[in-house]
Structure 1
Amino acid sequence: MRYRIDDPEAYLFRFADNEAILRRELDHAVVKTSARFAIDRALRTEIEAFRGAVAAELRNRCAALGLGVRLEGLDLVAVAPPRQVADAFNEVVAAENERSERISAARGYAARVANEAQGEAARTLAESRAAAQRLVSETSADADYFRQVRDQYARNRDVIARTLHQETLRRALAAVAEKNVVAAAPGGKLEL
């Protein structure tokens, strides 16, 4: 606790032991302020707000009593829960730390999975586009071939029909493991 004497007469002559009064009023301000703060807020999450509230309470008490001092600052040297609940408080802190670690790990996992899914989606999309382009190219080539055959067929119907028939037979025979050739009888008849 840091303070400045504003009224030397009041400080020296109004009370016998101003230091003891200031310590007692500080204790009173801590107890009164503690009643307004949850323990985890006072000791962990809102330490600065707790310190400021204690300082404000102590300033008000010093002014109300006319101690002749002005509080300039209040420092928290050590912050600890009451010894009766210290173990439980430490367990809560440990549980909250574990919770934070798990949340952080889950967020990391979610980000990693999302990135992997986006990568997989991009790869699938690229493969689909490539397959579509390949299909369009193959279909275009087939259409060009069909137009060429159609034009040739229009000019030489018999020759193209025989050529297509022979190509079809060649492809069909290439796919068969065993082939038997039957000679045609006189008059063009084939009997099996």
Structure 2
Amino acid sequence: MSERAPRSIALVQGHPDPNPDHLCQVLADAYCEGARGAGHEVAVIDVAKLDFPILRCPAAFDNDPVPEVLVPAKEALLAADHLVVVFPLWLGTLPALTKGFFEQVLHRSDMFEDTNGRGWPKGRLAGKSARIVATMGMPAAVFRWWYFGHGVRAFERSVLGVVGVKPIRETLFGGVETVDDARRTQWLDTMRKLGAEAR
């Protein structure tokens, strides 16, 4: 049992392919296994199984409510103590479907407190922590040090950070096409441990 008090976790499984055998799904499952085994509650949001429209108009982001199909996801994010977002790195950042999910579920009218035009609006996810788990074909060190982790950092600062989430931690798994069974087992063990610690 984890030494931490039980926490509520919202896990966004952000791989756009619904195939249950891809690495992101397996990593997410391992995290959930560790978390639930330690007494934490986990709400899983599988982006690949959601049918939602793409945001096309800035006015919709500012004024419209979250699409009805995404209301349960919005409520899960608001209710959680800790967020986990798992996705593959595609063209240096989140897949389009995953980014589209966050554009729709984080509408200004739902995720920011109304300041009546006075001052910077406060995000309603303030007080929550998060972990980003990204998989990639290149070595993680190359992404982090040569590319400065730009795609992941932009998501941290310009999406999660803007709505108040902090601290935000990263777990990067690189070289996924050539990983051997022993290394893959280590990755799953890492995810189970993070889940048990609700980190």
Shorter chain as normaliser: what TM range? under 0.3
Give the structure with the higher percent strand.
2
Larger Rg: 1
Higher relative contact order (CA 8 A, sep 6+): 2
Query: Given the two structures, how large is their TM-score scaled by the length of structure 1?
Result: 0.17
